[in-house]
Amino acid sequence: MMGMRIALIGAGNMGSLHLKVMKMAGVEIAGVCDVKDEVLRKVKEEYGVPVYKDYQEMLEKESPDGVIIATPPHLHREQAIYALKKGYYVLLEKPMGANLQDARAIYRRARGTNRLMVAFSLRFHGLFMKVKDYLERDLGDILFQWHVALGRTPVNEWIKDSRKSGGMINENAVHVVYYFLWYAGDIKKVYGRCWTLEEDATIEDNAAVTFVHRNGAVSTLMQTWTAQHRWRKWGLQATNGTVTVDGYLGGDYKISTREMRVLEEGNFSEEVELMYLRQLKHFLHCIETGEKPVVNEEDGLKVHRAVQALYRSSRLDRMVPL
């Protein structure tokens, strides 16, 4: 994996994190593209790498082994399809696009190539991997799972624009929708409600949704960006045990069996960069071996279909099948 050259499109908040992780992994940064001069100046000063304002020019001149796309969702379709057409391996930040049409277009281009990885990073987070392992070894089948996220709207103004972000759930809570699918399998039908409280937003800033999986499991997500204080919890009930987490990426957790035997409990904590480092190493492995990424265009499209079903359900006020 050493010696691989990876280019980055988009050096904002997520792009900056990807640059840090690439440096941690010993990856050569082939080039960085962003539309903001100030961002490129800082990247040049800190990393001393080639910088560009045109991603097509960067890819043509630098010919990297792979490319990470960390731009706002409405730009993903054009950038990802261009890179895939040119034969590059692509690590695409979630969500695949700002809408289902964009996701389908990327899916069609990526299908069968083994060259697209979608950055649903919870797949590589220590606590979420731990729970998945316990599910497979000890806890049995999920009956129901829940995730509650109370917070405030992020500072990026583009997030409030539905044309650019696709919505709060589409842009942000897709991480949760992904792990619901990872834990409980494909979704069969969706019922939910969305609300918008902020006057300058064209997206939902509150949502509650129930996903019914094909195996009968039920997953519930409640999220707000207008909370007066922050609060986050998640967990699940399975046929042979229970998981509770007071927090999100860390916090007090407990895993116990149906017989009330505690399998593990404590306070989980790990540096946030670790899940992105594991994710990057998997991406590099796929470039090296040609293997299909464990998180790919199929997962990305499934998540998009579930999210769009939520939005349709909210408009129609009824259960929507997938």
| Identity of the residue numbered 271 | E
Question: What is the CATH number for 64?
Answer: 3.40.50.720
Shared domain check, 262 and 187: yes
Q: What is the pLDDT of residue 2?
A: 60
| Identity of the residue numbered 134 | Y
Q: What is the pLDDT of residue 1?
A: 54
Helix (H, G, I), strand (E, B) or coil at 218: strand
Question: What is the CATH number for 316?
Answer: 3.30.360.10
51-108 tens-digit pLDDT: 999 999 999 999 999 999 999 999 999 999 999 999 999 999 999 999 999 999 999 9
Shared domain check, 72 and 41: yes
197-212 tens-digit pLDDT: 999 999 999 999 999 9
Q: CA–CA separation, 195 vs 207, rounded Å?
A: 6
Interhelix angle 100-110/76-85, nearest 10 degrees:
10
Shared domain check, 53 and 21: yes
Shared domain check, 165 and 291: no
Shared domain check, 60 and 133: no
Shared domain check, 172 and 50: no
266-298 tens-digit pLDDT: 999 999 999 999 999 999 999 999 999 999 999
Q: 0.75 exceeded by the pTM?
A: yes
pLDDT band at 7 (very low <50, low <70, confident <90, very high): very high
Shared domain check, 281 and 256: no
Q: What is the pLDDT of residue 204?
A: 98
User: Considering the chain, what percentage of its residues have pLDDT values greater than 90?
Assistant: 97
Shared domain check, 160 and 224: yes
Shared domain check, 98 and 77: yes
Backbone angles phi, psi at 159, to 5 degrees: -65, -30
Shared domain check, 152 and 106: no
pLDDT band at 299 (very low <50, low <70, confident <90, very high): very high
The torsion angle over the Cα atoms of residues 225, 209, 126 and 141, rounded to 10 degrees, is 160
| Identity of the residue numbered 236 | L
State how many domains the chain has.
2
Q: CA–CA separation, 32 vs 51, rounded Å?
A: 5
Domain that holds residue 114: 5-121+275-295
Helix (H, G, I), strand (E, B) or coil at 7: strand
Which run of H or of E encompasses 37?
Answer: helix 37-47
* 8-state DSSP, 137: I
Shared domain check, 133 and 92: no
Q: CA–CA separation, 241 vs 220, rounded Å?
A: 18
Q: Over range 234-243, report the average pLDDT.
A: 99
Shared domain check, 170 and 160: yes
